[in-house]
A and B are shown apart, each in its own frame.
Chain A
Amino acid sequence: MMRRTPPRGVLGVFEHTDQLLAALRATQKARMTVRDVYSPVPLEQARDFVTPGRSPVRFVTFVGAVTGLVSGLALAFMTSDVWHLVVGGKPVNSIVPFLVVGFELTILFGALATLVALLVLARLPSVAFPGPAYREQFSLDRFGVWIDCAAGDERAASDLLRQAGASDVQRVADAAPEAA
């Protein structure tokens, strides 16, 4: 479904986060597009440059949790109604114990919904792994900035990254994809 456009742009590799953020601010000023930022730890400030706003996972969690509550209560009530047996002197339809069932399924469905939402929204498992701009150091102690630009603007983008303090700058199209 994704259009397979050839990868383009430049990738700057940084050792320090303050330099990375300076680069991001510079790209914003120069009206260049940051395609992505790679980091071994989450960087909230960097995130705002690429994908601002909160994750909508929580809405899916809420729906999952409510579904769980309703399912749990429905399961308990409806199955009690099948044979209508009084067990242990307890009423056939007793809300008090059935709330425990509803509670457990609320948590279970909420957690599973969260997992599904995470996988879908973060596009995991990623079939495109590792992608043209990923380098193995990004899970260790390096940070990456991928600026999306046409061939003509690569020079300007490279200069911008180097000026900000990038330890290495590569053309994304040149770099061989890492062996998957």
Chain B
Amino acid sequence: MTARPLVDEVLALTPQATPRRLKLVAGALIALGGVGVGAGFGWRDGAAGWVALLTATSLVIGLGVVGTLLSAIFELTHARWGRAYRRLAEASIALAPIGLLGLLVLLVGGSAYLPWVHEHPDVGGKAIWLTRGFWDARVLIALLVADGLALAFLYHALRRDFCVEGVAKRWPGWPGRWLGRNIVDREVERARCEARLQPLAVALCLGFGVCFSLLGFDLIMALDPEWISTLFGAWYFIGHLFAGLAALGIIGVVSRRAFKLERFLSVERQADLATLLFAFCLLNTDFFWSQLLTIWYGNLPDETHYVIERGIDARLPWPTLSWIAIAGFFAIPFVALLFRRVKRSDLLLTLLASIVVASIFLVRFIEIAPPLLHLGAGATLTEALVPLLAAALTLAGMLGAGAWLYGALLTAVPLLPVGDPIFAAEFGRPEVTP
């Protein structure tokens, strides 16, 4: 009879190399991404290329941080149920450099697409707020601060794992060697990392909220400088949380099968995540509704033109896409997640989560595309669908690149958070094998 320590079990489950299938899929997606960017810039005046890049980047920068944010929330709330998801969520930091790269391209090419560069607002704070140098610096610093906080949190979370006996010697090369360096007393170092994780988690939550509100205002709301919505920043980052949680659901299903994590990511935990997804569906819809109702009721032309262009004016293709998006982020997940069967089914949950991510992407597209594409009345759906397809392919490309890095990250650190005391307490019951 041998009892298998948790560490050994987790190290055995951690893949030695990036799964080949993942590399193939990632490669294919990157290629599609190239096609998408090319098609976007090749279509008509090339504005669709900027739409594609901005839409994809606006989502990817959020997804790169939101996984670590979810892990930070676990750390702060002492939630017991989803500890095994933490590393899978944290590894999505792989998207951060992709998002940053996308943002840098957008900053370099800003004059080509930013509406307020050529028609500079001369009224109010936005006359100062929307000036090139200031805007570029702000946007870049906001993303770097958010990414930096996520990395700082992640470093300490990973180092806490490397303080557990047996972990460091699995990874003698980089980054394991760096993460496990100079550990004199394991317990002391573990306690030190743990003590730092709490304030870092708080800082990350605050930083995420503030930085991504700023990015929402600057990257998307500013595209139509006449329009304002105080809730827009929060609506932007809640969309990330919603999409990030959905993506985590998909990753959980895939990882359970690929890495044999049935003991850790049981169907019950998956159902719990799906219930949380339902809660975020309601929250996301609430933020959408708060804006819509306020604008509809006030009926002020300054505000309503934005909604009319995207949701009501039947001469434009945007309303059709808006209704599809609403179905995707509200109607379908709301109804589907009422059923236990959907929460517990791998296929149905994956399908639903994919619809959620796609609908958040579509929402960003509908926010970004109209002021950049300038489609006039009578524009056909095709004129919107080609840029949409380009944007979707660009997103696929960025996600593919991120997936490649993600896979590499999962081989470089323990697949499950062995240093997390709550995780260890929950799963540390030794398996008795005859």
Contacts and interface: CB of A to CB of B under 8 A. Distances in A.
A90 B299 CA distance: 9
Nearest to B295: A96
Contacts of B296: 96
A19 B197 CA distance: 43
Main secondary structure of the interface of A (DSSP, over half): helix
A89 B299 CA distance: 9
Contacts of B299: 89
Contacts of A100: 293
Nearest to B299: A89
Interface in B272-311: 292-293, 296-297, 299
A97 B338 CA distance: 25
Interface string A50-83: 0000000000001000000000000000000000
Nearest to B293: A96
Contacts of B297: 90, 96-97
Contacts of A90: 297
A97 B296 CA distance: 9
Interface residues on B, range: under 10
Contacts of A97: 293, 297
A50 B317 CA distance: 59
Interface residues of A, number: 6
Main secondary structure of the interface of B (DSSP, over half): helix
Interface in A86-109: 89-90, 96-97, 100
Interface in B336-377: 338
Nearest to A100: B293
A57 B292 CA distance: 35
B331 to A, nearest CB: 13
A170 to B, nearest CB: 39
A90 B293 CA distance: 12
Interface in B75-101: none
B278 to A, nearest CB: 15
B245 to A, nearest CB: 24
Contacts of B292: 96
Interface in B366-404: none
A96 B296 CA distance: 8
Which residue, A89, A96, A97, has most C-beta atoms of chain B within 10 A?
A96
A100 B296 CA distance: 13
A62 B293 CA distance: 26
Nearest to B289: A99
B134 to A, nearest CB: 38
A46 B299 CA distance: 59
A96 B288 CA distance: 13
Nearest to A54: B340
A33 B139 CA distance: 71
A97 B293 CA distance: 8
A135 to B, nearest CB: 35
A159 to B, nearest CB: 35
B200 to A, nearest CB: 39
A90 B297 CA distance: 8
B307 to A, nearest CB: 11
Nearest to A62: B338
Interface in B122-159: none
A89 B297 CA distance: 9
Nearest to A96: B296
Contacts of A89: 299
A35 B190 CA distance: 54
B308 to A, nearest CB: 13
Nearest to A89: B299
A90 B292 CA distance: 15
A62 B338 CA distance: 10
A96 B312 CA distance: 13
Contacts of A62: 338
B289 to A, nearest CB: 8
A129 to B, nearest CB: 34
A77 B296 CA distance: 18
A62 B339 CA distance: 12
A97 B299 CA distance: 13
A21 to B, nearest CB: 20
A54 to B, nearest CB: 9
Interface of A: 62, 89-90, 96-97, 100
Q: Which 9 pairs across A and B sit closest by C-beta, in order of nearness?
A: A96-B296, A96-B293, A89-B299, A97-B297, A96-B292, A96-B297, A97-B293, A100-B293, A90-B297
Interface of B: 292-293, 296-297, 299, 338
Given A90-B297, A97-B293, 8 more contacts: A62-B338, A89-B299, A96-B292, A96-B293, A96-B296, A96-B297, A97-B297, A100-B293
10 contacts: A62-B338, A89-B299, A90-B297, A96-B292, A96-B293, A96-B296, A96-B297, A97-B293, A97-B297, A100-B293
